[in-house]
Amino acid sequence: MVERREQLGKLVVLLALVALLGYRWATGALVFYIHPRYTWLVAGALALLLAMALAADRRHSPHHSDRPSLPYWLLALPALLALLPPTPLGAGAKKALDLGSATVTLRGGQVALEPLERNLLDWTLLITERGPQAVAGQPAKVVGFVYPSGGADEFTLARFLVTCCTADARGVGLLVRYAGASALEANQWVEVEGEMATHGDQAVLIAQRLQLIDQPPNPYLYP
């Protein structure tokens, strides 16, 4: 009886993991955790967990009854954590924020040619490769979240880059001059239109129009 209860507990834990992971996949929430190119691994993980659940449901023979059950119960922790609503990284994350920094990995020069088509990473790469003066005077239309920078009329427009998963995420940002910056809340997503300029050795976007927007379905960028 005790062994049967153990097997039932293992089955419940494994099936819960399968259900929660499958739900995250079906709702598109996996992009809050991993790079989209790795979502195929989730299919393999689901198959493996399902196989483990089926194996746990089988009655073990006596010479298998001494197998340790601890590894199965360790799986209960991620199952419980998966119940928490997925929250993307934002201004409160303890991550480095690069302002046009050379530490951003270049993508072989794959940058949108038209200024108004460039995202925050494209601008960061151009500034890193060619310098702030090279982009001065160009029009820009960029989406990101508000990262307070301390100035009354400025803030940093930021997004996070994900290479594999959010554990390796790094932030990139662009300084924005905007008269109403002090009224903006941290983490608020905005779309900023304006013109690129320079301030000392730093690029700055002079905002001509700012619109509050909802968080994009996929809030991350990928180098």
Place 169 in a pLDDT band, splitting at 50, 70 and 90: confident
Average the pLDDT over 170-193 and give the result. 93
116 in the same domain as 197: yes
pLDDT in the model for residue 207: 97
- 205 lies in some domain: yes
Q: What is the CATH number of the domain that holds 132?
A: 2.40.50.200
The CA–CA distances, whole Å, from 80 to 17, 27, 77, 97, 212 equal: 9, 18, 5, 31, 34
Place 198 in a pLDDT band, splitting at 50, 70 and 90: very high
- Predicted confidence (pLDDT) at residue 191 exceeds the cutoff of 80: yes
Residues 23-78 pLDDT 10s:
666 666 777 777 777 776 766 766 776 676 666 555 544 444 444 455 555 666 66
Residues 117-168 pLDDT 10s:
999 999 999 998 899 999 999 999 999 999 988 778 999 999 998 888 777 7
Count of structural domains, the chain:
2
58 in the same domain as 105: no
76 in the same domain as 19: yes
pLDDT in the model for residue 102: 42
Tell me the one-letter amino acid at 122.
D
- 128 lies in some domain: yes
pLDDT in the model for residue 167: 74
Q: Which of 113, 111, 106, 143 is nearest to 128 (CA)?
A: 106
Percentage with pLDDT > 90 across the chain: 34
pLDDT in the model for residue 64: 47
Answer whether 160's CB lies under 8 Å from 173's CB: no
124 in the same domain as 51: no
101 in the same domain as 74: no
The answer to whether the predicted template modeling score (pTM) of the entire model surpasses 0.75 is: no
134 in the same domain as 43: no
74 in the same domain as 127: no
- 218 lies in some domain: no
Instruction: State which of 22-26, 90-94, 102-106 shows the largest mean pLDDT.
Output: 22-26
- 86 lies in some domain: no
Residues 6+ apart with CB under 8 A from 60: 3, 7, 67
Give the domain-ending residue among 81, 108, 138.
81
pLDDT in the model for residue 40: 65
Residue scoring higher pLDDT (198 or 85): 198
- 88 lies in some domain: no
pLDDT in the model for residue 63: 46
Average the pLDDT over 187-198 and give the result. 97
Give the domain-ending residue among 34, 56, 81.
81
102 in the same domain as 9: no
104 in the same domain as 194: yes
The parent domain of residue 55 ranges over 2-81
- 217 lies in some domain: no
153 in the same domain as 58: no
208 in the same domain as 143: yes
Answer whether 21's CB lies under 8 Å from 45's CB: yes
